[in-house]
Every structure is written in structure tokens, then in C-alpha cells.
Amino acid sequence: MIEWRPLIAAILRESPRPAWGLHGVPHWARVLENGLRLASETGADVRVIGLFAVFHDCRRVNDDRDPGHGARGAELAGSCRGRLFALPDPEFALLTEACIGHTDGRTEGDVTLRTCWDADRLDLGRVGIRPDPRRLCTEAAKRPDILGWAEGRAAAGFIPERVRRDWGLERGPGA
Ligand SMILES: [Fe+2]
Ligand SMILES: [Fe+2]
């Protein structure tokens, strides 16, 4: 069980970059929904997917290469665990590895890891990059229907309803 509102509020307090920026809340929510769609086929752990989505980029200090930002996200997840979400040890190890590994372009590992990384890559359309199927690591993510669906949402800067409904965030004027 994840209490999304206090968790997101705590993450945003520790997040150096703008909440509505390139690697901010709309990206997190699309990654989450990409991951859920993939998980229905890959069988990935959806708790890990959800937490990966909100932690993997939250400690970026720039929107460029920013080495180590995945490890910093994992560190914050560690300090929130037990206070703002609960996750057993094996799944927490996957979450940590998913966050750390997403910055290195890894394509191999447990199915939950691969689903997290593909969920992130499927959102590259927001910067005009079409994900290269050879760099995707689940069969589900390579399928044209899923690729096209994710790319359309990414390119349009689509903000999933869960941002308002579950996370309690509203984009104000000028944000
Ligand atoms: Fe990242
Ligand atoms: Fe990302």
C-alpha cells in the first residue's frame, strides 16, 4: 500500500528540478502508466514499477546527462521506506537496482527491472526521440501498438489524470 499524496509531497521537497519540467511529475506519471501497461504482459511487480516511476529521476540536478541521479533517487527511496511506503526486502532491492541501473542503458536483468527501464524509455517521445526497439528490453515494449501509444502521449506532453486524482497536484499558472 502506498500513500501517494504524502509520498509525492515528500519527494518534491527533495527534488532540485522544477516539478513540471522535462523530468518532472508528468514524466513520472507517464512512466508509471507505461509500466503498468507493460506489466500486464510481462508480469513485473507493480509496486516496484510505481515507486521506480516517482523516484528514478527525482534527484536530478540538471536535465542533461547527470551521472548518478538514479543512485541518488534510490537513496531517497531508502530514506522514505517504512515512513511513506512499505516494501519487502527483495522488492526493495529491485527498486534500488532499477533506479541505479536506469542511467547506464542496461537492458538485461529481472523482468521487473527490464519493465521499469522500458517504461522510462517509452517516454523519450517527449524530447522527440523515438525509442529504438533494439534498446528496449521487453517484447511488449517493442510492439508497434504500445510504442505508438506511449510515443503519442509523450510527444503531446500528456498529463495523466492520476497526477490530480491520486497525487493531489494541480499545475498552476506559470508553473
Ligand atoms: Fe533518468
Ligand atoms: Fe526518466
Encode pLDDT of 117-134 as tens digits. Answer: 999 999 999 999 999 999
User: Which of the four pLDDT bands, split at 50, 70 and 90, describes residue 103?
Assistant: confident
Nearest in space to 141 (alpha carbons), one of 113, 157, 111, 121: 121
Q: What per-residue confidence (pLDDT) applies to 105?
A: 82
Q: What's the N-to-C CA distance of the chain in angstroms? A: 30
- Distance from Cα 159 to the centre of ligand 1, integer Å: 19
Distance CA 30, CA 28 (A): 6
Average pLDDT over residues 6-18: 97
Domain 4-159 = CATH 1.10.3210.10: yes
- Distance from Cα 72 to the centre of ligand 2, integer Å: 13
pLDDT at 20 > cutoff 70: yes
Please answer whether residues 44 and 73 qualify as being in contact, where contact means their C-beta atoms are separated by less than 8 angstroms. no
Q: What per-residue confidence (pLDDT) applies to 175?
A: 67
pLDDT at 141 > cutoff 70: yes
- Distance from Cα 170 to the centre of ligand 2, integer Å: 21
- Distance from Cα 22 to the centre of ligand 2, integer Å: 9
Average pLDDT over residues 84-105: 95
Question: What is the pTM (predicted TM-score) of this model?
Answer: 0.97
Please answer whether residues 163 and 29 qualify as being in contact, where contact means their C-beta atoms are separated by less than 8 angstroms. yes
Mean pLDDT estimate for the chain: 96
Q: For 32, how many CA atoms within 13 A lie in the half-sphere containing its CB?
A: 22
- Distance from Cα 165 to the centre of ligand 1, integer Å: 25
